[in-house]
Structure 1
Amino acid sequence: MKRAITLVFIMTLMLSAKDYTNNPKTIEFMDKLVQKYNFKRTHLEKLFSDVKVQKSALRAFRPKVKKNRTPEQIAALKKRYPKYGAWDRYAKHKVSDSRVKEGVEFIKRHRTIFEKVEKKYTVPKEYIAAIIGIETAYGRNVGKYQIFDTLTTLAFEKNRRNKFFQKELMKFILLSKTEKFNPKNVYGSYAGAIGLGQFMPSNYEAYGVDFNGDGRITLQKPEDAIASVANYMKQNGWRKGEPVATRVGYEGMRFKAYETGYRKTYDRAQLKGIRPKEKWDYSGKVRLIKLNKEKYDELWYGAKNFFVITRYNHSAYYAMSVHQLATKIAARMKEK
């Protein structure tokens, strides 16, 4: 019986593995690595000859097809995702009390690193920790996908972002050479993101920092990961000492008076009937950030630093969850 199970397991692995060395696009890809970057073809052929196709990753990037849903399916979706309360559902886990507690512990555990990083990059430690907390639960969940196989699957199996993933695969292979690691031994997310801060290979190259001075950028190590997240924020325009966001008041329960979102900016004088709930010393342009709660819309001003957080993940809800988590972490640290 055990032998039969073992044979089935081996057959499953064999069936899921694929040889990409005869794929015309892969051949062209390898040619570039050989001719432009002096890679050995035998090394590349060995890598691409045994790739486990990551079907679950591929499903996330398949071309979107409009579905003709039945009335019953539509009703089920509405029940699962009601019109109101989107922010409540989103923030439930992102800004949980346990995540705040773990954030405080994470900063305390790496206090010396955070102090040095904050001094160099001027990004507050609670915001760095909040990003790492939301991305990987402070390093507990960095992903279980083999990055080389995942990026190869997404680069050469048909999906809506082939070109993007071909570029990321190229960056990843180049990184394996400069940073001296085996590309088959790196694991991360279904999209190919790596380390505590979930950097794509292109961001790894652009913003990665060897903060512990060991000659390598290792985003799985807290020293390098913390500094790299801070560097990412700094390079994208983080302004020292400036606020991120503040709650504002308006008349009514649902806000429709002005366009909301992180892209649209206003002079505060333009916004009639909207006032910060607390004193807010910020004279720059603001964004109106609307949080869809179950019983009302919560409205916030977002400053330039709020926009900077959206460069990490292009979502107002993501940036607000980082801000609220960071604020709660900072408050909890003051209590102790």
Structure 2
Amino acid sequence: MKRNILRACTGIGVSCLLAVSGTSVAKTAENYTQRPEAQALISELVEQGFSKAELEQVLDQAKKQKSILKAMSRPAEKRLTWGEYRKLFLTKKRISQGLKFWQENRQTLQKAEQQFGVPAEIIVAIIGIETSYGRITGNYRVVDALATLGFDYPRRAAFFREQLKEYFLLTRAEGVDPLSLKGSYAGAMGLGQFIPSSFNSYAIDFDGDNKKDIWNNPTDAIGSVANYFAEHGWKNGGTVRIKAIAPATAEQDWFNDGLKPKLNMAQWRARDFSSAAELDDAEMVSLMRLEKDGKYQDWFGLHNFYVITRYNHSRLYASAVFELSAALKAKR
């Protein structure tokens, strides 16, 4: 492997952060059609009006990608500290490119912010972290990625077979060849890296041309990201993250205990915690401890921080989105 490019991949519960670049992609012909699981999937789709022969024709051409299975075994968010992860995304180049993307799409971003209540800088940061503003959207055929993971990755095979089913529904609805679309090694697609189920649930036609083109149309990609956040409960004007001040008596298992807030500020204050900014006692927050340059940072994640983790289930990812968005806003 010549080099690794770290990028995030949108999804419901999907963490897929190690895209392979600069290497040859190993392709192994697999007769996926004959797998019992594939036949079960085909039967489900036939009941929804698909042609069995056409489905088998597509799956006959799906190829096992060994590099995908290798990448799935090394998720970056489990290997890197916050400081290491941050350096990959909080760069001058990514900020500069983000400001250019913002300027080029300012009217669309303004429209999305007004319609969905999601700040432009959050939308830009998501697209920036996911694909460097559309520069790196993935080189795997989506059908290869989903077949490889759906039939040869037992740990999450059921999930990815469901994504393969959603993919066939997507390509039928959008009128595209299922062998034509490319994406990440986990089957995420477009500027915002939507997995098929996310596309089917949240992608929108934001420019009124009767197409949901998140691959080549920044307008649809921006609207789709904003819609995703709105549908997951983004609070317009809400805070994302605030510095936490921990007492010396804080127990280690209080930190990083899940992504969804479990305690409110009154309960944290009862444990002698305080915050850098005033928060209501009823505010539900999560407590995280992140390592950067050998030192630890403590933070409270509020509701909107949790919403960001619905896009990618990682506090490192959500922290990177938040900090990149803040850097972009500060330079506007």
Q: TM-score, normalised by structure 2?
A: 0.83
1:266 aligns with 2:263: yes
Higher mean displacement: 283-292 or 185-194: 283-292
- Contact 2:143/2:178 (8 A) holds in 1: yes
- Contact 1:243/1:282 (8 A) holds in 2: no
Alignment of 1:93-112 (within 5 A): 93-112=88-107
State the shift of 1:255 in Å: 6.4
Alignment of 1:70-85 (within 5 A): none
Alignment of 1:304-323 (within 5 A): 304-323=303-322
Which residue number corresponds to residue 84 of structure 2? 89
1:145 aligns with 2:140: yes
Which residue number corresponds to residue 240 of structure 2? 244
- Contact 1:58/1:159 (8 A) holds in 2: no
SS of match in other structure, 1:114: helix
Q: Distance in 2 between the 1:285 and 1:235 partners?
A: 19
- Residue among 224, 227, 233 paired with 1:228: 224
Which residue number corresponds to residue 8 of structure 1? none
Letter in 1 for 2:183: G
Q: Which has the higher contact order (CA 8 A, sep 6+)?
A: 2
SS of match in other structure, 1:53: strand
Letter in 1 for 2:197: S
- Contact 1:150/1:191 (8 A) holds in 2: yes
Q: Distance in 1 between the 2:117 and 2:292 partners?
A: 33
Q: Distance in 2 between the 1:162 and 1:168 partners?
A: 10
- Residue among 28, 31, 34 paired with 1:19: 31
- Contact 1:171/1:202 (8 A) holds in 2: yes
Which residue number corresponds to residue 68 of structure 1? none
In the comparison of the two structures, how many residue pairs are matched? 300
SS of match in other structure, 2:85: helix
Higher mean displacement: 308-317 or 264-273: 264-273
Which residue number corresponds to residue 156 of structure 1? 151
Alignment of 1:1-336 (within 5 A): 16-34=28-46, 36-61=47-72, 86-220=81-215, 221-250=217-246, 256=251, 259-261=254-256, 262-272=259-269, 273-278=272-277, 284-333=283-332
Q: Residues 229 and 282 (structure 1 numbering): CA distance in 2 closer, same or farther, change over 3 Å? A: farther
Letter in 2 for 1:211: F
Q: Residues 56 and 300 (structure 1 numbering): CA distance in 2 closer, same or farther, change over 3 Å? A: same
In structure 1, stretches of 5+ residues that fail to align are 1-11, 63-80
State the shift of 1:21 in Å: 2.9
State the shift of 1:264 in Å: 4.2
Letter in 1 for 2:208: G
State the shift of 1:293 in Å: 2.1
1:227-283 Cα shifts (integer Å, max 9, x gaps): 11111111111011111112233456x964671233343322333443333466795
State the shift of 1:129 in Å: 0.8
Q: Residues 295 and 21 (structure 1 numbering): CA distance in 2 closer, same or farther, change over 3 Å? A: closer
Q: Distance in 2 between the 1:98 and 1:129 partners?
A: 14
SS of match in other structure, 1:286: strand
State the shift of 1:39 in Å: 1.5
State the shift of 1:114 in Å: 0.3
State the shift of 1:296 in Å: 2.4
- Contact 2:116/2:227 (8 A) holds in 1: yes
Q: Distance in 2 between the 1:208 and 1:290 partners?
A: 34
- Contact 1:255/1:297 (8 A) holds in 2: no
Q: Distance in 1 between the 2:326 and 2:25 partners?
A: 46
In structure 2, stretches of 5+ residues that fail to align are 1-23, 74-78
Q: Distance in 1 between the 2:327 and 2:260 partners?
A: 26
Q: Distance in 1 between the 2:172 and 2:59 partners?
A: 16
RMSD: 2.6
- Contact 1:61/1:161 (8 A) holds in 2: no
Task: State the identity %.
Answer: 36
Q: Distance in 2 between the 1:314 and 1:37 partners?
A: 31
SS of match in other structure, 1:183: coil
Q: TM-score, normalised by structure 1?
A: 0.82
SS of match in other structure, 2:321: helix
Q: Distance in 1 between the 2:112 and 2:130 partners?
A: 19
Q: Distance in 2 between the 1:28 and 1:157 partners?
A: 16
- Contact 1:147/1:188 (8 A) holds in 2: yes
